[in-house]
């Protein structure tokens, strides 16, 4: 199932997207429930998604404005750094130069504030005067469906509700200046998300392909089978002593090909378009302004 959050006739709705991606059928949610997007469905374990479709019929996707499926995440987004072998290598002489002795011992985990989330086609605002090194990171994100603490790797996939796409936009100079990464990752609009959530019964995030384009040029192309720390390991790690809740989001890292890893680096500028596509999920595309 694909679950989308969208604006239609001046109101936020949540709906089930057709298999061809052309139509969406709204769920029967009150405005206060729809305020948090797909979260009420996730917290209901999918039962509401099966039983409470509105009887008013389908709506053409072309007539709605897609929003992030979780436009108001309940808390910070968990993010994983340096989680593809080739990406770790391309940054080994830069932001990771003092932290590269044993890159595969433990995942690097940081967060992005929930307020930086925007929709799959919204503009990303360059923080002029604050950073001159804005970079893109195409990523698969895991949406937790069943909460828990100290979740074992063996049981981790049973806690996955589904998957979505994020662009982990990063201010590289701010990231390095402060050493810890939250500020450089959390500027307003720095987490495009969408276009919807695909539930785990339809997509196995452990076996899919992540690609990213800048102005039509393919920059990133990776398989999630090449993750250094796979999805069960990431869930196990993030839940060590920390309770995960339904609706929590874990971004799994980005493949090689980021702007910082090029010689010379190629950072984003006003007018650039960044597209992220994941097999089985769809695509998001955002202009930087």
Output the pLDDT for position 180.
79
Contact, 254 vs 244, CB < 8 A? no
The percent of residues in the chain predicted with pLDDT above 90, rounded, is 84
pLDDT, tens digit, 9 for 90 and up, residues 26-42: 998 999 999 999 999 99
Region 55-60: what's the mean pLDDT? 79
Output the pLDDT for position 87.
67
Does the structure show a pLDDT above 60 at 99? no
pLDDT, tens digit, 9 for 90 and up, residues 227-262: 999 999 999 999 999 999 999 999 999 999 999 999
- Per the model's pLDDT, the better-predicted residue between 181 and 153 turns out to be 153
Q: What is the pTM of this model?
A: 0.94
Region 191-211: what's the mean pLDDT? 98
Q: Which two tokens stand for residue 32?
A: 């206060």
Confidence of residue 181 (pLDDT cuts 50, 70, 90): confident
Nearest to 38 by CA among 61, 18, 67, 9: 67
Output the pLDDT for position 179.
77
Backbone angles phi, psi at 164, to 5 degrees: -145, 180
The secondary structure of 135-150 as a DSSP string is E--EEEEEEE-S-BSS
| Range of lowest pLDDT (66-80, 151-165, 167-181, 184-198) | 167-181
Q: Which two tokens stand for residue 119?
A: 């929709």
Does the structure show a pLDDT above 50 at 286? yes
Contact, 112 vs 250, CB < 8 A? no
What is the C-alpha separation between 89 and 139, in angstroms, rounded? 17
What is the C-alpha separation between 73 and 115, in angstroms, rounded? 8
Domain boundaries, the chain: 2-67, 77-287
Confidence of residue 85 (pLDDT cuts 50, 70, 90): confident
Q: Which two tokens stand for residue 27?
A: 């769920």
Output the pLDDT for position 239.
98
CATH architecture observed for domain 77-287: Alpha-Beta Complex (3.90)
Does the structure show a pLDDT above 90 at 117? yes
């Amino acid at each position: 199932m694909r679950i989308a959050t969208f604006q239609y006739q001046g109101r936020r709705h949540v709906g089930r997207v057709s298999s061809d991606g052309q139509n969406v059928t709204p769920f029967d949610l009150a405005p206060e429930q729809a305020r948090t997007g797909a979260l009420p469905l996730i917290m209901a374990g999918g039962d509401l998604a099966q039983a409470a479709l509105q009887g008013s019929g389908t709506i053409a996707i072309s007539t709605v404005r897609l929003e992030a499926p979780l436009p108001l995440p309940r808390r910070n987004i968990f993010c994983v750094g340096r989680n593809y072998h080739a990406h770790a290598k391309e940054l080994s002489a830069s932001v990771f130069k003092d932290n590269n002795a044993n890159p595969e011992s433990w995942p690097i985990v940081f967060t992005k504030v929930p307020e930086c989330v925007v929709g799959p086609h919204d503009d990303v605002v360059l923080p002029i005067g604050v950073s001159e090194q804005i970079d893109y990171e195409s990523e698969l994100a895991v949406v937790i469906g069943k909460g828990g603490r100290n979740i074992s790797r063996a049981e981790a996939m049973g806690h996955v509700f589904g998957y979505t796409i994020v662009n982990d936009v990063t201010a590289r100079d701010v990231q390095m200046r402060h050493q810890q990464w939250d500020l450089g990752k959390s500027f307003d609009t720095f987490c495009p998300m969408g276009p919807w959530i695909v539930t785990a019964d339809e997509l196995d995030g452990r076996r899919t392909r992540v690609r990213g384009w800048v102005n039509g040029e393919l920059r990133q192309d990776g398989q999630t089978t090449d993750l250094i720390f796979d999805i069960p390991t990431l869930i196990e790690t993030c839940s060590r002593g920390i309770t995960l809740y339904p609706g929590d989001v874990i971004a799994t890292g980005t493949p090689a090909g980021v702007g910082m890893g090029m010689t010379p680096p190629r950072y984003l500028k006003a007018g650039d378009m960044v597209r992220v596509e994941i097999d089985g999920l769809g695509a998001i595309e955002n202009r930087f302004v």
